[in-house]
Structures are given as structure tokens and as C-alpha cells.
Structure 1
Amino acid sequence: MASTTLTLPATDASAPAITAPPLSPPSAKISATKATILALDLGTVAGWAIRTADGTIVSGTVSFRPSRYDGGGMRYLRFRSWLDRLASEAGGIGSVHFEEVRRHIGTDAAHTYGGFLATLTAWCEQNEIAYQGVPVGTIKRFIAGKGNADKAAVIAAVRARGFVPADDNEADAIAILLWAIETSGGVR
């Protein structure tokens, strides 16, 4: 699968930025194009995939792991800043689809997810970008044929579609993006 790359900001000074030629000039308004879709697997290590207005799909992962000197809200400030820079670099975002998790392994995971979800939905509201949560079972059933497919099955299914995800986070984001594209976001 051919792909164009984006210049994406690193989350801290020590992490390398993901670089490539810009896709289009940055837009003054973040939601400039309805054709650009962003898919996210929210978490401390977030998977992301974006389809630009010209149909190019780019994906990756980004870490929002706090340093020992960070306050509790720093990961969310970094996430919001990353969203701003990603939207600017992509020339605007028309819609956002994210994995809607209803069950977490522990309390910390639930709190962290809730913080990312609150940050994302507030950012979308502020920038007038449509957003939608997609249940985990829906994503797995779409990509792997089973609503309870394990991580390996999801990765294998995404690879069978011609993508090379680095991990399960990126595979989940690609699966969400493909679901959004092929089902028109679940609206028929």
C-alpha cells in the first residue's frame, strides 16, 4: 500500500518526530475538509490513522507517557497539542472516530482513558469536528470477523489488508479508520 507521510510532532524533546513531506498547506480552520478522517485508539500509547482528502492513509503510534516530573494533567495537554499539530499538518480534519472502551482492566486504565476521551471530545467540540465512538466488538467483528478476536487476530487482519502496523495500537486505529471509510461511519 503506497503512503504519503506527515510531519508529526514528538510528544517530548527526547522522542524523534515522525517526518515526511507535508500533505497540504496548513489550514486556518482545523475542520477545513470533511474528507479527512482521523481514527484513534486512545491510551498512553495511542494508535492513530488518518485518511487525507486525497485518499492517502497514514498511521502510527504516539506515546503520552508522563515523565516523573510531570503533573497529572500534562499527558492531556500534550495530547491536545498533538491533535492541534496533526490537524494543522493534515490541512484540517472532518471527522474523528475512536475506540469506545466500556470495560477496563483496572481503575488507573479507566481514569487515563477517561482523561483522553474528555480531552478529545472537548477538542472536537471546540473545533466543530464530528466525532464518534466505535464499540470494541464492532471494530473486531468488522476487521477480523469475530467480536471477541484477540490482538494477534486484529493485527493479522490489518496486515492482510496491506498495512504494516507496528503494534496492536496502530492496528486498532487502522481497523477503526477502515470501518469508518467502508461503513460511512456506520451510517447507511
Structure 2
Amino acid sequence: MADMTLATHRREAIPDLPPAVRANRAMLALDLGTTTGWALHGIDGLITSGTVSFRPGRFDGGGMRYLRFTNWLTEIDRLSGPVAAIWFEEVRRHAGTDAAHVYGGLMATLTAWAELRGIPYEGVPVGTIKRHATGKGNAPKEAMIAAARARGFSPADDNEADAIAILLWALETKGGLQ
């Protein structure tokens, strides 16, 4: 079972969302990684966020991380959905090979899961997210956390702060939905 931290915030509903989003559907934003940050805009206007760990266990096979991620997505959709759209941080450069492999596996799992359900998804470049949240496209982790706190959130770490920033970008720019 995935380890998960959770924070809930009551936010004012954004009135000019596109019809696809207003139709009693949730929107999900993800910062993919071994510790995945997530933020969910529920059908009631509530934004919930947190982190979930997909660190493999001692006796796990190579695919267990991705099976747990699939199960987690299914639970989010079942409990909070249906999910109308998913946005995720689109990373083009990684600090290490292992991080790149994990990101690629999670992104493949996410996109396949969404395709099977007909859920639109979009990667958002890191610089776009940082610029929207802080005004600087190369903002450090601490600035992203501070930006989320300035908006009334209490992120546990930079993963959750990034997911919140992605969701706010999607809500405020309509995330490319027309």
C-alpha cells in the first residue's frame, strides 16, 4: 500500500471554468516521482493535496511501483471522480538515470491509464509552472513552497507544492481546455 500524506483546503470555486470541468468532474495535477505530489480540484470546489510514496519495498519486483500507482489513480478516480482532466509536470532533464527511469515509467503508466478511460492529459513544462507560481521560470524548491503558502496552502514538501502550482495554473489558465 502506498504511503500518503494529505492536506485539505477550502478554496473559492473558480466560476469561469469550461463546461467539461464544471460538469461535476474532478481535475488532478501530479508531480511524478518516487514521492509523487498531487493536488485535486473536487466537484465541490475543494482542493485537496498531498504526497504519495511509490518507493519499492524490499521484496517488490520491478513493476510493483507502477501497479501501486495504477491502483492509486483508480482509487482517486473512484473516490473523487470522475476525473475530467490530468495535468502533470513535464520534466525534460533529470538529475540522474534512476530518476529518469522512474519518471518515464510513471508517465507511461499515467498516460496509458488515462487513454483507457478517455481522460485528457497534458504535460506542463517545469518553467511554465515555476513562472506562473513565482514569476521566475527557474525558481528553487523553497520559492515554490513559499508561493503555495502565500496562496493559503500548507505543502509538506516541494512535490506537493509543485502539484498545487500545476493545479492552480490549470484552473487559472483553463489548462488549455476550451
Which of the five TM-score ranges fits, normalised by the shorter chain? 0.7 to 0.9
- Cα deviation for residue 83 of structure 1 reads 0.3
- 1:1-188 equivalence runs, <5 A: 10-11=1-2, 15=3, 35-186=25-176
CA–CA distance in 2 between the matches of 1:50 and 1:118?
A: 20
Higher strand share: 2
Kept in 2: contact 1:49–1:57 (CA 8 A): yes
Identity of counterpart residues, as a percentage?
Answer: 63
Give the root-mean-square deviation of aligned CA atoms.
2.0
CA–CA distance in 1 between the matches of 2:26 and 2:133?
A: 21
Q: Following superposition, which runs of at least 4 residues in structure 1 exceed 4 angstroms of deviation?
A: 15-20
CA–CA distance in 2 between the matches of 1:17 and 1:140?
A: 23
TM-score with structure 2 length normalisation? 0.87
Q: Secondary structure at the match of 2:82?
A: coil
Q: CA-to-partner distance for each residue in 1:93-118, whole Å, 9 max, x for gaps?
A: 00000000000011111111000000
Q: CA-to-partner distance for each residue in 1:104-153, whole Å, 9 max, x for gaps?
A: 01111111100000000000000110000000000000001000000000
CA–CA distance in 1 between the matches of 2:177 and 2:76?
A: 26
Kept in 1: contact 2:36–2:159 (CA 8 A): yes
Which sections of structure 2, spanning at least 5 residues, go unmatched?
9-22
- Cα deviation for residue 35 of structure 1 reads 3.7
Instruction: Give, as a single letter, the amino acid of the residue that structure 2 aligns with 1:45.
Output: T
Q: Secondary structure at the match of 1:94?
A: strand
Q: Which residue of 2 aligns with 1:25?
A: none
- Cα deviation for residue 17 of structure 1 reads 7.9
- Cα deviation for residue 91 of structure 1 reads 2.9
Q: Which moved more, 1:34-43 or 1:91-100?
A: 34-43
Which sections of structure 1, spanning at least 5 residues, go unmatched?
1-9, 21-32
Kept in 2: contact 1:34–1:93 (CA 8 A): no
